[in-house]
Amino acid sequence: MLNFKKVAYLGINLIVVIALAGCSKAAEANLATTTEPTLDINLIRTQVAQTVIANITVEAALNPSVTPAQEASSPPPQPTIAPPPTETLQVIIDSSPTATLKPVTSSGGGVIYATRTKTPYTDSAKLIDQVPADGYSRKQGETFPAYWEFLNIGMRDWNTDFYIKWVSGDVEPEGGTIYHIPGRVKQQDSVRMDVTLRVPNISGKRNSNWVLINDDGVVIYHFYLQMVVP
């Protein structure tokens, strides 16, 4: 009887131990389940990048941007500004020895005075004859005729506004210092200019210095007469 009780007591204790062991394993399993898992850093980086890309895609779809224009290789052309309109003026020139500049009224009501255009490259002359020749001799106080003949070697015809003029020297002309060409002189034609000169009351070598002037008031030739006064 005593042994049976002992055996029964041992069996109950064994069952309690087995039950406790099962509870312990269940608790360990439950503890293992509820324990916080280990974090994977690479996985977290990948998920963050994917989230950022998704947000950027959504933002771009909601706010489309304008594609910037391609940078130009050269600066843009500047607008062309038309020059202000100009007025055409009729200019009248009178280049005679005693001429005065004539005023011209423009369309705007103002008055503009003409200026002479210098053309020394256009007109040219060559002396082809002279009477008397240099070295001519006359008594003091006498008068004598003289002339010079010129060839037109310029690029245009001469008109009656061309003239010769005495400028210096002891042998002075009689009847004025200016003599106009008598008529039109075509290119390669010649013209003779006659004057009367007076012998000075001074002995020795004496000169009479002259110039040929065109219708623009430009000197195109220098010439002279040299004589001897006893």
Q: Are residues 175 and 150 in the same domain?
A: yes
What is the tens place of the pLDDT at every residue in 88-113?
A: 434 333 444 433 344 444 445 554 44
Q: Are residues 219 and 174 in the same domain?
A: yes
- Residue 98: per-residue pLDDT: 39
Range scoring the smallest mean pLDDT among 73-77, 119-123, 143-147, 213-217? 73-77
Please name the residue ranges forming H helices in the chain: 2-34, 41-62
Per the CB < 8 A criterion, the answer to whether 178 and 163 are in contact is yes
Range scoring the smallest mean pLDDT among 4-18, 90-104, 147-161? 90-104
Per the CB < 8 A criterion, the answer to whether 89 and 112 are in contact is yes
Percent of the chain with pLDDT over 70: 47
Q: Are residues 107 and 132 in the same domain?
A: no
Q: Are residues 97 and 174 in the same domain?
A: no
- Residue 68: per-residue pLDDT: 44
User: 3-state class of 90 per DSSP?
Assistant: coil
Please give the order of strands across the beta sheet that includes 136-137. 136-137, 219-229, 204-213, 163-169, 178-180
Q: Are residues 141 and 163 in the same domain?
A: yes
Length reported for the chain:
230
Most confident of 52-66, 80-94, 101-115: 52-66
The parent domain of residue 111 ranges over 87-116
Sign of torsion over alpha carbons 96, 99, 105, 106: positive
The pLDDT confidence band at residue 175, using thresholds 50, 70 and 90, is: confident
Q: Are residues 100 and 192 in the same domain?
A: no
